[in-house]
Structure 1
Amino acid sequence: MTQESWAGWYRDRRGADAVILTTDGERISLRIRGVDFEGGSFDALVPAGGIPPESGAFALHEGALSDCVLEWDLPLPVINDGKLHQATLGCLLALQRPEPRLGLSLLFGGAVYESGRAERDFAGALATVQGLLPPGVDIGACAACAYSDYFPSGRRVLSGGLGCFRGAKEEYRAASGAEEVTALWERRDGLVQEVWSCQEFERRPEGAGAPGTGHRGPFPLVVR
């Protein structure tokens, strides 16, 4: 996978700092006040190399960044009546306990579509945004892809727990329900961020019970 970098802000009790978030679609990394953090989910960003920062420099919960706010924008593909466009997705994430609070806002066609400020994960927030879009307008990110799914017995995470089956497309299309997706799980190409996208994107089937929707069902219905 290639890498993308997104400009944003980090805020905590010590103030605000401009940051650059970098991702290859699987892992996220950023540098804050000279300290590198990385992780597979936005709520699991730990000091790179396992080296703890100076005591008191950051609030950490079980080793991961906490009690702070991350805000950034990223380009997001949107399909409008079959044509590909680039929209801007604004992300506002409060890393707090016991659960983070996430808000997404999609700027497209001169309008803003907002998820609200209390979403628990990126899949749910993107589904909310998709439900607000006009007919014929679809989000083109991994969360909406025909070849993505969650491990059936896994714990729902903030981000990055989405399995990509682009290397086993026909097998995934034929999978129905938790048992068959579980059997196929080792064939996945990896875990991806819900806001990531690639050239092999295909729109996920719509409608409850639609074939080819694996375990999690159609998008924007994320979890059965």
Structure 2
Amino acid sequence: MTGLQRWPGRYTDRHGSEDVVFESDGRKLIRTTIRGVRFESDSMDDLGAVGGEPPERMFSFFDGGLCSCLLEWEVPVPVEVRGRGMRPGVLRCALRLGDPAGPGRGLDAETLTTTLLLDGHEFRNTEEQDDFERALQDIQRQLPRAARMKACIACAWSDYSPYGNGLMAGLACFRDIKDRYRRVEGKRGPGNIFDVWEDLTEYVQETWLCPEFEHRGTHEGYRGPFP
């Protein structure tokens, strides 16, 4: 999957609901238009209005990002099934952004629900999560043993920072230094993640996919296997 993707979606808040289309490069760009206002960010939980905030009567904001709303969208996620080849999967995502909890306290809720639609079956993360890492790990555990998602989250060359990660798009790709990344065994000692971090290729979204994808195997890197 390369180039600009278009994800069908929906936006809902106290003023109503409307169909929208999210555009993304799969790395650090997400943009959409809601009620005639252009929004853009690198993550769905931080969509800010381009050119300044519109009147608050149209939307709710916290630190410049949309809140008090529900964002829904669908992303293509292929699944490789042993003996059957590649199957077209669709990941249905729903992100509920709560109300501001007060100065310096963030939102009172932020929950992510993901459902993988595959060959007439649905696989949903069993608990509401706050990031794609855990949500997609949960779905992979539910898939039949012969089925494996084919996306950056499941790739041999991707890893997270030991300092943590947000909702999405904080997945580091090391495809340009594969030999060095293969030696990563944690965050301390010889071959630690910090030895290669400055040479990462780019940051990507968990659901992105490039031609150099390889399934994550026994090499655990810093973040461990998937799942």
Normalised by the size of structure 1, how large is the TM-score? 0.90
Match of 1:137 in 2: 147
Q: Secondary structure at the match of 1:170?
A: helix
Letter in 2 for 1:182: F
Match of 1:183 in 2: 195
Q: Identity over the aligned pairs, expressed in percent?
A: 39
Q: Counterparts of 1:99 and 1:152 in 2: how far apart (Å)?
A: 24
Match of 1:91 in 2: 93
Per-residue displacement from partner, 1:30-70 (whole Å, max 9, x unpaired)? 11111111111111111224x11123221111111111001
1:199 and 2:211 are equivalent in the alignment: yes
Per-residue displacement from partner, 1:60-111 (whole Å, max 9, x unpaired)? 1111111100111121111101622211111111112234111111111221
Q: Secondary structure at the match of 1:187?
A: coil
Q: Counterparts of 1:157 and 1:98 in 2: how far apart (Å)?
A: 16
Match of 1:66 in 2: 67
Q: Which moved more, 1:107-116 or 1:141-150?
A: 107-116
Q: Secondary structure at the match of 2:193?
A: helix
Unaligned runs of 5+ in 2: 99-106
Q: Counterparts of 1:128 and 1:17 in 2: how far apart (Å)?
A: 30
Q: Counterparts of 1:56 and 1:161 in 2: how far apart (Å)?
A: 32
Q: Counterparts of 1:60 and 1:117 in 2: how far apart (Å)?
A: 26
Q: Counterparts of 2:171 and 2:129 in 1: how far apart (Å)?
A: 17
Letter in 1 for 2:179: E
Q: Counterparts of 1:34 and 1:116 in 2: how far apart (Å)?
A: 35
Q: Counterparts of 1:79 and 1:62 in 2: how far apart (Å)?
A: 40
Q: Counterparts of 1:117 and 1:20 in 2: how far apart (Å)?
A: 27
Normalised by the size of structure 2, how large is the TM-score? 0.89
Unaligned runs of 5+ in 1: none
Match of 1:218 in 2: 225
- Which of the pair is proportionally richer in helix? 1
Q: Counterparts of 1:116 and 1:70 in 2: how far apart (Å)?
A: 19
Q: Counterparts of 1:56 and 1:79 in 2: how far apart (Å)?
A: 46
Checking the alignment, whether the CA contact within 8 Å between 2:96 and 2:109 is kept in structure 1 is no
Match of 1:25 in 2: 26
The alignment's C-alpha RMSD in Å is 1.4
1:7: Cα distance to partner? 0.7
Moved over 6 A (4+): none
1:174 and 2:186 are equivalent in the alignment: no
Q: Secondary structure at the match of 1:6?
A: strand
Letter in 2 for 1:120: D
Q: Counterparts of 1:168 and 1:48 in 2: how far apart (Å)?
A: 36
Specify whether residues 92 and 106 from structure 1 end up closer, same or farther in structure 2 by C-alpha distance, changes over 3 A only: same
